[in-house]
Structure 1
């Protein structure tokens, strides 16, 4: 009789643990699923989850084409139910791009692939961003300008900050870039 009572109690305790753990997993998956993709721009999805931990600086290397601009911050974007990426390039030939050379820690934003722009020296950091006060990956240039690196994969990169002054004047703060080469 005593063994039966102990077995029933053990089953009840284990079942409550499994149910509460399953509820947390479902809640977590729903939250991640909601924040992972919000619409597409020219067939490329906006991934809005922030990178966890340090991103390897070599991943930023190359030429990146601007294909989407969100008029607002990353925080606003994650809370927006229907984000509007209203970027239309004014370029008749070429495209707005940013070229990163991670070996020399230099970058340059180029308007319509033709403008002659000087290289800017930058530092790629992981830590407390002085602008946002959050621990994240960021780029510091001209000793007081900061660009948050939200995420990078082999095809896309999402940056937040004053990346291209021409676009920032119209309110653009969050940029979706596609790797060119």
Structure 2
């Protein structure tokens, strides 16, 4: 990538002086082949991989890569605060409603997010536990989501691919 002065790879550590932070680099290909995230001190900075209620489009990566990257992020502790690159929450939650209409936890969360946005407040950061409960891209094993897609016996990776393709058309 032109202009890169300090190439980073999975497992590298980045130390920032002000504010004092030590973050681990994790490779999260999918949105792009070289996409990385930073995790540490209870925070995740994930760019366009994971969004509040959604995930990034696949520009260079494959569904298998993105599914694996999201699984890696979903495995972080539930109280990890998620800082993503865009405030797409309400639009993502509309898709989540279509994908999994019978998720009451998502419904409650959507109302809280709507109230925040109505007050001009951000819905970010979120946290990993919330995303596990409301984000369809982290719920590829959900029986209701699989039923909606008519993919009850498909591998999670195929469910993810179909879900992402649907979101691209939504």
Normalising to structure 2: TM-score of the pair? 0.30
Per residue, is there more helix in 1 or in 2? 2
Normalising to structure 1: TM-score of the pair? 0.29
Task: Please say which structure displays the higher CA radius of gyration.
Answer: 1
Per residue, is there more strand in 1 or in 2? 1
